[in-house]
A and B are shown apart, each in its own frame.
Chain A
Amino acid sequence: MRTIGTSIQRVEDERVLTGRGRYVDDVVVPGMLHAAFVRSPHPHARITGIDSTKAAAMPGVVAVLTGADMQRICNPMTIQMLQGYKSPAFFGLATDTVRFVGDPVAVVVAESRYLAEDACDAIEVGYASLTPVATIEHALDPSRPAIFADVGTNTLFEQSHTYGDVDAVFASAERVFTEKFRQHRYANVPMETRGCVANYDPSTRELVYTVATQSPHGVRFALSGILGIPADRTRVVSGDVGGAFGLKGFVYREDVAISAASKHLGRPVKWIEDRNEHLMASAHAREEDLELTVAARNDGTLLGLKAKLVMNQGSYPLLPFPSALFTSIMRVMLPGPYKLQAYSFDTTVVASNKAPYVAYRAPWEMETFVRERMLDIVAHELQMDPVDIRRKNMVTAAEQPIHMITGPTLERMSARETLDRSLALFDYAAFRDDQRKAREHGELRGLGIATFIEAAPGPRDMSAALGFGLGKERAHVRLETDGHLTVITAQMPHGQGHETTLAQVAADEMGVPFEHVRVVYGDTRYTPFSLIGTGGSRSATMASGAVLYGTRRIKEAVLKIAAGMLEASVDDLQIDEAMISVKGAPQRAVPLAQIAIMSYMAADHLPGGAQPLTEVDHDFDGDEGGWAQATHACWVTVDRDTGQVKIDRYLVVEDCGTMINPAIVEGQVRGGVAQGIGGVLYEHSAYDEEGQFLAGTFMDYLLPTTTEVPTIEIDHLETPPISPVNFRGVGEGGALIAPAALTNAIEDALAPLGVKITEQYLPPARILELTGTI
């Protein structure tokens, strides 16, 4: 029975439902100690002294470590992965300067978290305040101090790219429009905070680091180098992870500080981040300004784009790749599925006294936001319908294959089909009629439509366009002695259901029941190397492809052996429910289990001299890859007296190729849309003008609940494949496009009041400011 395409119940579920998940805080190691951090209350200051004598003497306290200890125990942390990026060098704890509110200054290790916090209370830290660099404007202001003295400037990265003859195209354009867009800082906020158990055993000189992570090998690679522990004695383990959305794909200073503490003490140390720390001092995302200039004809034909991006990376960069890398994705993807003749993209990445910038579900989201917003703004200026301007400029199927102006090939890209399909699902003209009538009664209703494409994983020429590649994906597949399969993946699932989906792929390929496949992940002792782990909407294609082809190689060897036994040719055989039989002659059959045991025990005596193959490593490069795309439509009503926004309806038409597990696909889309809605209406990692953080609890940082997220209707298209692996990534699309769809709808609702929206955070108070009511 084939399981691909069915919403088979997930393997992961039973342990989660019965409370038997193994999240990092559930891990208990004998002799384990507990850590708590002392953190800076100042955005920018010199440390004048730390007095921990009282703390060190308190009951149950085993050690207090500071930056000086980090300098002694560790190599400095620094980024070397991006040419042109000016990386500071820093340690797991602040040494002489604190650079954001929440910067860790000391770590207490004690017998319980309660006692550790008591000791933190007793530590006295002296600070001498420095001028804060709190905003992008501050960061670009040469009169403000460089927050990293060893770098000497707050501009850490600059890059410019030009495609086509920008000057000529703009000079001859009938219309030129410029807007400056501002996206606010908000964050991933998974339900499980960060956490780890570092266990350095002095007798084996091995560090076993249990951590909630998306990338065990990424963590291993970084910790090995920073702590000076050989890679073969560094092991990273991850069990169940309570969500991440990008945040847990990086290596943080706390990872280093806790590992260093364990190494120093020779004892296991656990640290579980609390929610205040998480909101304030883990990392934030999305803070970008982008000035976009469009050259167009009066009839709405787009000719060229000029983009100037400034990204605020906050203070310390996260390892192993800095956020500056995502600006390349923004550059390549900003044109989207639209035709252009000329394009330029200037990037600046600045540092400031804020928490680090981290990848958050589609970290290049800014490009989709500004493009889809700008299309509506230009349409409005030209008195065109926003759907018409999209139709006029979007690449159609007939025009493909075609290169984006930035290089990647668009082929089997179905953005236009998703747009057309979405419009077929409701009566657009009728809505405009209703909207007109509603406006006569003073009611503000709006519709926003937005379309994206995503390289999930993208075509072969994507890497060249970006300037970097994410490499091949490896899977290890093993046929066990009883004919079951073990699949060892570099993926690190944290809600996406890979334990299930990869088993579906292997089971269907081999012809065994789903229950005969076990997917193993999360331990660097066994898993293949991957720097990124799970992220970037890759697993559906990359991991599935590696599993599919790896399983196929084993299957081919199995069939050759079976052919000899059944005296048939390989082409006449089929495997179903773990039974290999001759097509049309089911009585001529042999169980897979028998072939398996023979492969192990009688390898030299297989029929016809066939060679056994019980284990393979398969590297998959993504083949022709492919695009994921969707159009989202959002209907809102805005209360003109209170500024509250109600989402009346939300519709998604998406195409991610063949769906391995439709329920999982839909869950990913809805979760992403909910986060996009949160970002626009509720979530803000807010700082004041002095760099003081304002959103440190869940009373200030608001996540949408059951009453804020609407029903999300989803329609699916499945574009036929170019290559046999037709599963495209879907994890990020919802979050990528929802802010654009929602802000388009809000601007459409407020159109009678002449409101133009170039920002993303729209709480009720802001809506009333935009309408001039307050």
Chain B
Amino acid sequence: MSARIRLELKVNGKSRELDVEPRKILADALREDLGLTGTHLGCEHGVCGACTVLVNGQAVRSCLMLAVQARGAEILTVEGVERDGQLHPVQQAFRESHSFQCGFCTPGFVISTLAFLAETPSPSEEEIREALSGNICRCTGYQSIVAGVRLASQKLAAETGAPVASGA
């Protein structure tokens, strides 16, 4: 069928090139062709959120995109979240809050949280739970994840000096 397609895209701030069959899923291209195995596959039919990456700043299920659709896009995976070798406030907050156990769902939650807090910097508990309802965790029962997101919002606010919602 279709010949391989060559495309350029940006991943974690670096220009990368892919040479893939059109049917290759973006998640597989990131993991296999670019060696970025932090993005995990939990279902491959768009429900669990483990594969979440940012595409042009938006949280997207990378199992539901073809790699060829990412031509010219800017992608952020969990490997690109650190700042100069230091944990990003979201990552640090998750660590302090014990927001994960086996860690398989964690990259997806980190990315979804980054996108969510960028849009809603001062969320209520209800808003946090609603926004993260598209990411499934089997280990934690979610409470420590919610606490981690709340702590992350406080850490980010402290950086910018912005006011935060009281931990409702």
A binds B: yes
Give Cα distance in the complex from A240 to B134, angstroms: 24
Is A243 among interface residues, defined by CB-CB distance under 8 A?
yes
Total chain B interface residues with beta-carbon distance under 8 A: 55
Checking B48, B50, B132, B144 against A667 with a beta-carbon cut-off of 8 angstroms, the contacting residue is B144
Rounded to whole Å, the gap between the CB of A98 and the closest CB of chain B is: 25
Q: Is A203 part of the binding interface, using a Cβ–Cβ cutoff of 8 Å? A: no
Do B139 and A243 touch across chains, with their CB atoms under 8 A apart?
yes
| Minimum CB distance partner of A496 in chain B | B101
How long is the Cα–Cα vector from A666 to B91 in the complex, in angstroms? 20
Indicate whether B81 reaches chain A with its CB closer than 8 angstroms: yes
Pairwise interchain contact B24-A275, C-beta atoms closer than 8 A: no
Contact of A7 with B78 in the complex, beta carbons under 8 Å: no
Binary contact readout B37-49 vs A (1 if CB under 8 angstroms, 0 otherwise): 1111111110110
In the complex, residue of chain A having the shortest beta-carbon distance to the beta carbon of B149: A706
B47 touches A671 (CB 8 A): no
B104 & A23 in contact (Cβ 8 Å cutoff): yes
Q: Does B102 contact A (CB under 8 A)?
A: yes
**Docked pose: A706 CA to B130 CA in angstroms:** 7
Is the CB of B106 closer than 8 A to any CB of chain A? yes
- Chain B CB within 10 Å — which of A17, A275, A734 has the most? A17
User: Which residues on B sit within 8 Å (CB–CB) of A51?
Assistant: none
- Residues of A within 8 Å of B107, CB to CB, are 19
Q: Are A23 and B129 in contact (CB under 8 A)?
A: no
**Residue pair B81, A709 in contact (C-beta under 8 Å):** no
**Nearest CB in chain B: distance from A279 CB, A:** 9
CA distance A19 to B78 in the complex (A): 6
Partner of B142, one of A191, A497, A663, A674: A674
A242 in contact (CB, < 8 A)? yes
- Do the beta carbons of A698 and B43 come within 8 Å of each other? yes
**Chain B residues in 8 Å Cβ range of A190:** 102, 104, 138
Q: Are B87 and A19 in contact (CB under 8 A)?
A: no
What secondary structure prevails in chain B residues at the interface with A?
loop
Cα A703 to Cα B53 in complex, Å, equals 22
Majority SS at the chain A contact face: loop
Question: Which residues of chain B are within 8 angstroms of A666 by Cβ–Cβ distance?
Answer: 98, 144
B103 on the A face (CB < 8 A): yes
* CA of A734 to CA of B137, assembled, Å: 16
Q: Are B140 and A671 in contact (CB under 8 A)?
A: yes
Within 8 A of A (CB), among B47-81: 47-48, 50, 77-79, 81
Residues of B within 8 A of A711 (CB): 143
Q: How far is the CB of A58 from chain B (nearest CB, A)?
A: 13
Cα of A7 to Cα of B98 in the assembled complex, Å: 9
Which chain A residue has the least Cβ–Cβ distance from B24? A114
Q: Is the CB of A191 within 8 A of B50?
A: yes
B contact residues around A494 at 8 Å (CB): 102
B138 x A245 contact (CB < 8 A): yes
Contact A495–B139 (Cβ < 8 Å): yes
Name B151-166 residues within 8 Å CB distance of A: none
B:113-148 near A, CB below 8 Å: 128-130, 132-146
Most buried by B among A114, A190, A706: A706
- Residue in A189, A192, A666 whose Cβ sees the most chain B Cβ within 10 Å: A192
Query: Quick check: which of A8-16, A344-352, A546-554 contacts chain B, the rest being far away?
Result: A8-16
B26 at the interface (CB under 8 A from A): no
In this complex, what residue of B is CB-closest to A734? B141
- Most chain B C-beta atoms within 10 Å of own C-beta, residue among A25, A241, A663, A671: A671
A25/B78 in contact, CB under 8 A = no
- Contact residue among B36, B79, B103, B136 (Cβ-Cβ distance under 8 Å from A16): B103
Asked whether any CB of chain B lies closer than 8 Å to the CB of A764, the reply is no
Bound-state Cα–Cα, A17 to B100, Å = 9
Closest to B146 in A: A706
Q: Bound state CA distance, A288 and B53, in angstroms?
A: 41
User: Which residues of chain B are near A241, meaning CB under 8 Å?
Assistant: 102
The distance in angstroms between the C-alpha atoms of A494 and B104, with both chains bound, is 10
**Are the C-beta atoms of A671 and B96 separated by less than 8 Å?**
no
Residue of A nearest to B126 (CB): A707
Whether B40 and A18, one on each chain, are in contact in the complex, defined by CB atoms closer than 8 angstroms, is no
Considering only residues 668-721 of chain A, those with a C-beta below 8 Å from chain B are: 668, 670-675, 697-699, 703, 705-707, 709, 711-712
- A17 pairs with B87, CB closer than 8 A: yes
Q: Are B98 and A14 in contact (CB under 8 A)?
A: no
A residues near B137, Cβ cutoff 8 Å:
191
Are B94 and A495 within 8 A (Cβ)? no
Residues of B close to A10: CB separation below 8 A? 95, 98
Interface status of B19 (Cβ within 8 A of chain A): no
| Chain B proximity of A677: nearest CB distance (Å) | 9
B17 within 8 A of A: no
A21 within 8 A of B: yes
Assess whether B87 is in contact with A14, with CB atoms less than 8 Å apart.
yes
B98 in contact with A664 (CB, 8 Å): yes
User: Which residues of A sit under 8 angstroms from B103, Cβ to Cβ?
Assistant: 12-13, 16-17, 21, 240, 242, 495
Minimum C-beta distance from A593 to chain B (A): 28
Known: A114-B21, A494-B102. A19 touches B143 (CB 8 A): no
A699 in contact with B47 (CB, 8 Å): yes
Asked whether A16 and B106 contact (CB < 8 A) given A671-B139, A706-B128, the answer is yes
Q: Which residue of chain B is the closest to A678 with respect to CB atoms? A: B138
Contact with A along B1-34 (1 / 0, CB 8 A): 0000000000000000000010110000001000
> Given A191-B138, A698-B45, A707-B133: A19 and B38 within 8 A (CB)?
yes
Cβ-defined contact, B101 with A495, below 8 A:
yes
Partner of B104, one of A191, A496, A674: A191
11 example contacts (A-B, Cβ-Cβ < 8 A) are as follows A9-B98, A12-B103, A19-B37, A191-B102, A193-B42, A243-B104, A495-B102, A495-B103, A670-B142, A703-B136, A705-B142
* Top 6 closest pairs, chain A to chain B, by CB: A19-B38, A242-B104, A670-B141, A495-B101, A16-B103, A495-B102
Q: A26-B31, A26-B37, A667-B98 are in contact. List 14 more A-B contacts (CB 8 A).
A: A7-B98, A9-B95, A18-B38, A18-B91, A19-B36, A19-B39, A114-B23, A191-B138, A272-B41, A275-B44, A671-B138, A697-B45, A699-B45, A707-B129
